[in-house]
Structure 1
Amino acid sequence: MFITHHMLIKREAMNTGVIVLVIGWNGKSAHVELSNGSTISIKASHRPKLGDWVVEGELSTEL
């Protein structure tokens, strides 16, 4: 299967959103649900909070 540019953009969009639920956190990573309905695992050295942003699969450090 070929991965197209459109597929990559769609995948990045699915990994971007506001955290609406922290499903789990182990000190290194977190499993979260985003406002777009997707659930993803992210690297997180601190416990993510509701309202934090995830941009392209990474916890945002911007305020």
Structure 2
Amino acid sequence: MQIGISQAIHLAQGSTLKLRIFGSTLPMQCDGEAWLQYPGVVQISHLNQVLMLMKNDDTDKEQLSTFF
């Protein structure tokens, strides 16, 4: 969702997001696919949890530079 601000502000974290759209159609985009959303309710939730890789904070920068 783009709203024309330069930096995001983290408000909260939840498992479900519900958008209630009033008035006329609203342009939306997900994964590069755009569409016109008519007034109604859009509910977004996660299906399963996904494992992700994360940087190890204990890694010494000098150790990384020896590989490159």
After TM superposition, the score normalised by the length of structure 2 is: 0.23
Structure of higher RCO (CA pairs closer than 8 Å, 6+ residues apart)? 1
More strand by share: 1
More helix by share: 1
Kindly name which structure, 1 or 2, has the bigger radius of gyration based on alpha carbons.
2
